[in-house]
Amino acid sequence: MTPPIDQKREAIPRGALILVVLAAGCVVAISLKLAAGIVAPTFLALVLTIVASPVRDLLTRHGAPRWLGTLVAALVIYLGMFTLAFLIVVSGAEVAGILPQYASSLDSLLDSVKAWLAGLNIQPEQVSALTSSIDLGNVGALITSVLGSLVSVVTSVLFVLAVVLFMFVDSRQFIEHLGKITQERPAFVTAMSRFTHGTRRYLVVTTVFGAIVSVLDTLFLWFVGVPGALLWGLLAFVTNYIPNIGFFIGLLPPAILALLSGGWGLFFEVVIVYIVLNAVIQSIIQPKLVGDAVGLSATVTFLSLLVWALLLGGLGAVLAVPLTLLVKALLVDVDPRTRWMGGLLGDRSTTVPPAPS
């Protein structure tokens, strides 16, 4: 007679089982790191397909051929990616052209910093070593590098867009297959449905609020005269997808340029307005609307940001929440025996069965 599965598990020491799981996790992490150039754009294509699929469904429900709905949904994605890439390139070139104008302002600022540090009895050699690497050329190179990374992500067009089109074509078969196995594998179908719904709701809400923040930041920066207002508005939009630390990434460049162009008064004005706008919208309103659809606590979200950024780079940071939702769906939601772990991750919809009496 074959022993039950639970008895088989008991035959493996728990410590050995934990070590095996950790070793397998390390192998998967190393594999993801090595294949980041393929994995990250592929998952981006998957996320874009999930978000745009309602456009195709809406057209087909109104009598349009399925191929036409697929084409229109794909074109919506293509147009959005090309527009974002174009705006980043144009506004980035503008900022790179005006940076040299503030070289004298930077020198004056560094002189005041040196005087302040000298007043703290810091040796002149240490002050020079601290400030020697600060140069607008380095700042410009850093901005160019960051913009280049963003453009390369957005304009991995031939690969991402091809994968998007293939995913749209294959999505019908995938959905039909899920319908066929609903009775046999209900937990898997439910987990995939929750992942799709949660990802779509998260990205739609994040995109809407990112657009609101971007427009408000751009108008404010243009009104107070900070150079490159459009670029910093786009940066605020992109960094809105990066949980927890995205706000600080989007704040730093315009705050520095505000300091160079208008002094400390404009610097603090930019910082305060950014904090008010972004804190209220991104930290209070947006999380409430996303709510239980994500099912991840703040701690898990922050740790997932670090992990996915380490494994997949900048695109991993932008897609940290959808990636974590997929892992949660495959490892936690899909198995009733591990579904209790969802509560530990921040999923409020998770119910723990009562203990046997």
Residue 219 confidence class, pLDDT cut points 50, 70, 90: very high
**So what's the pLDDT on residue 289?**
65
Q: Average pLDDT for residues 245-251, to the nearest whole number? A: 80
CB 143 within 8 A of CB 98: no
Q: Which of 228, 225, 219 is nearest to 263 (CA)?
A: 225
Average model confidence (pLDDT) across the chain: 74
What is residue 220's predicted lDDT score, i.e. its pLDDT?
92
- pLDDT of 232 strictly over 80: yes
State the pLDDT confidence band at 357, using cuts at 50, 70 and 90. very low
**Structure tokens given for 357:** 């009496």
Q: What is the sign of the dihedral through the CA atoms of 189, 191, 192 and 198?
A: positive
Q: 257, 139 in Cβ contact below 8 A?
A: no
Higher pLDDT, 344 or 168: 168
Instruction: Please answer whether residues 72 and 56 qualify as being in contact, where contact means their C-beta atoms are separated by less than 8 angstroms.
Output: yes
Q: Residues 234, 91: contact at Cβ < 8 Å?
A: yes
pLDDT above 60 (res 291): no
22-43 tens-digit pLDDT: 788 788 888 888 888 788 888 8
Structure tokens at 248: 């600080």
What gap in Å lies between CA 213 and CA 197, rounded to an integer?
Answer: 24
pLDDT tens digits, one per residue of 256-275: 888 888 888 888 999 998 88
127 closest CA partner among 141, 117, 140: 117
Residue 286 has pLDDT above 70, yes or no: no
Range 70-79, long-range pairs (CB < 8 A, 24+ positions): 70/165, 70/168, 70/169, 73/168, 74/161, 74/164, 74/165, 74/168, 76/52, 77/48, 77/49, 77/52, 77/161, 77/164, 78/157, 78/161
What is residue 121's predicted lDDT score, i.e. its pLDDT? 61
Please give the full DSSP string across 66-89, using - where no structure is assigned: HHHHHHHHHHHHHHHHHHHHHHHH
